Chains A and B, each alone.
Chain A
Amino acid sequence: MAGGMTYTAIDSTSLQTAEIYGQALVELGKAHPEVVALTADLAKSTKIGDFMKQFPDRFFNVGIAEQNMFGIAAGMAKAGLVPFLSTFSQFASLRSADQLSTDLCYQNVNAKVIATHSGTSFGQAGSTHHAISDLAVTRSFPNLTVICPADGVETYNAVMAAYNTKGPFYIRINRGFDNTLYNTRDYGFEVGKAVTVREGTDLTIIACGSCVYQANQAADFLEKADGLKIRVLDMHTIKPIDRDAIVKAVMDTRRIITVEDHNIIGGLGSAVAEVVVESGKGCAFKKLGVPDKFAPIGLHEDIMNVLGIDANGIINAVREVMKADFELDDDWDDEV
Chain B
Amino acid sequence: MPLSKQEWLALEKKANELRRLTLDTTYWAGSGHIGGGLSVMDILVVLYHKYMRFKVEDPQWADRDRFILSKGHAGIAYAPVLCDLGFNDKELLKTFNLSGSTMGMHLDSNKVVGVDASTGSLGHGMSIAVGTALAARVLGKDYKTFVVLGDGECDEGSNWEAAMSAAHYKLTNMISFVDRNKCMIDGRTEDVMRLEPFCDKWRAFGFIVKEIDGNNIKELCEAIDFAYANETDQPVMIVCNTIKGCGIDFIEDNYLWHYGAFDDEKYEKAKASLDAFYAKRVARAEKEGE
Contact = CB atoms under 8 A, between A and B. Distances in A.
B137 to A, nearest CB: 8
Contacts of B120: 102
B62 A80 contact: yes
A76 B131 contact: yes
Contact of A78 (B123, B132, B158, B165): B132
A79 B139 contact: yes
Contacts of A63: 161, 164-165, 168
B132 A65 contact: no
Interface in B61-80: 62, 66, 68
B121 interface: yes
Interface in B137-188: 137-139, 145, 157-158, 161-162, 164-165, 168-169
Given A57-B138, A76-B134, A80-B62, A67 B165 contact: no
A80 B61 CA distance: 11
B239 interface: no
Nearest to B159: A68
Contact of A99 (B127, B135, B157): B127
Nearest to B72: A102
B162 A107 contact: no
Given A102-B120, A102-B124, A75 B132 contact: yes
A73 interface: yes
A94 interface: no
B138 A72 contact: no
Contact of B161 (A68, A76, A102, A103): A68
Interface residues of B, number: 37
Contacts of A77: 131
A305 to B, nearest CB: 39
Given A63-B165, A67-B158, A102-B124, A74 B131 contact: yes
Interface string A101-123: 01100111000000000000000
A71 B110 contact: no
The A interface is mostly helix, strand or loop, or mixed, namely helix
A29 B168 CA distance: 24
A36 B169 CA distance: 15
B124 A81 contact: no
Contacts of B137: 57
A71 B134 contact: no
Given A65-B161, A79-B66, A107-B109, A36 B138 contact: yes
A80 B134 contact: no
In this complex, the member of B130, B131, B132 whose beta carbon has the largest number of chain A beta carbons within 10 angstroms is B131
B161 to A, nearest CB: 4
B128 A108 contact: no
Contacts of A107: 109-110, 117-118
A78 B116 contact: yes
Nearest to B135: A79
Given A58-B138, A68-B158, A71-B158, A79 B165 contact: no
Contacts of A71: 124-128, 130-131, 158, 162
7 contacts: A67-B158, A76-B135, A77-B131, A78-B131, A80-B62, A102-B124, A107-B117
Interface of B: 62, 66, 68, 108-110, 116-118, 120-121, 123-139, 145, 157-158, 161-162, 164-165, 168-169
Given A65-B164, A75-B135, A79-B135, 8 more contacts: A72-B127, A75-B132, A76-B134, A78-B117, A78-B128, A79-B62, A103-B124, A106-B118
